[in-house]
Structure 1
C-alpha cells in the first residue's frame, strides 16, 4: 500500500518479500558502519516484521522507498517511535542502498515523512538521531530543517538528536 509520494519516489508499506532488496542496505558493512553491526538475513526479516507491527500499533513505521522511474527499491524511510534520552518520540529514520546515495533520495523521502508526521499524524515535533560520527545522516536532518536538540548516550555510544517543530498548527 502506497503511503506517500514525492516527485521521484513513493513510499509504501513493507512486505516480507522485500527482505532481499532491503538486505542490500541493512546487510552491507559500509552502509551500516554507524550501527553496531550489519544485519543477517533473519535480522532483516525481523526488521520488516517490526515495521509491520508498527503500522498496526502507530499507523506508521519505516516504509519501502521506491524510485518511480523503473520501480527500483532504494531502501527504507519513515517514522518510528524511539527512545531519546528516556523520552519516547517520533523519529524519522532512513537507510538508502549505497548505489543510490548522494542523489537526494534520503532527503526527499525524509522531508516527505516530516510533512506526513505534521500534516497527517499531527505530531507537534519530530526527531532524528544518529551517532556523533554519522555526519551524512545529520546533514539530511539539517536539510529538512532539523536543528540540534541534545546529545545523549545510547548503546554505550554518544548520540546526537535533532528536532523540528510543527509550525503548521
Structure 2
C-alpha cells in the first residue's frame, strides 16, 4: 500500500468491496483473489476494472501482492492471465495500467505483460503513469 495515499478505513474498504461487486454485476469482471496453489494462502488481488483517466473510461489491469511475497512472479502471472482474458474472452481493444511513478516493480510487471509507457498524468490527485497496449483487431479467417 506504500503507493496509495493511505490504508482505507473500514467504511472505505466496505465501499471498495461494493464498488468491486458492482463491477462484476455491470461489466462481468473485477478483481480476483490471488492465492498460492500449494496451500491456498492469500497472495493479493488482480483483475480488470473500469477507471476514468483524463475524462475517458478505460479498462485497467490492476495487481497487488503482499509485501512478503513480492518478487516471486505472482503479479506477472496473474496480470498476464488478466491481459489474456481481456483480449481473448472479453474482446477488448485496449488495456491500461495506472502506476505511481515511484512504483518501479509495478512498471516492470506492466512491461512483462507488454504494456508500454504511454504518458504521465494525474490520477486521483496524485502523479501517475499510464502504461497501455492495444490488441490487434481480429480479421476474417482465411476461407471465410
TM-score (norm. length: structure 2): 0.89
For 1:77, the equivalent position in structure 2 comes to 46
Secondary structure at 1:34 match in 2: coil
Task: Give the superposition deviation at 1:42.
Answer: 3.6
Within-5 A mapping of 1:1-169: 32-167=1-136, 169=138
Task: Give the superposition deviation at 1:77.
Answer: 0.3
Secondary structure at 1:158 match in 2: strand
Task: Give the superposition deviation at 1:128.
Answer: 0.2
Task: Give the superposition deviation at 1:43.
Answer: 2.8
Across the aligned residues of Structure 1 and Structure 2, the Cα RMSD in angstroms comes to 1.4
For 1:6, the equivalent position in structure 2 comes to none
Secondary structure at 1:137 match in 2: helix
Relative to structure 2, which stretch is displaced further, 83-92 or 152-161? 152-161
Task: Give the superposition deviation at 1:168.
Answer: 6.3
Unaligned stretches of 5+ residues in structure 2: 139-144
Secondary structure at 1:148 match in 2: strand
Task: Give the superposition deviation at 1:82.
Answer: 0.5
Highest CA radius of gyration, 1 or 2?
2
Q: Distance in 2 between matches of 1:116 and 1:81?
A: 15
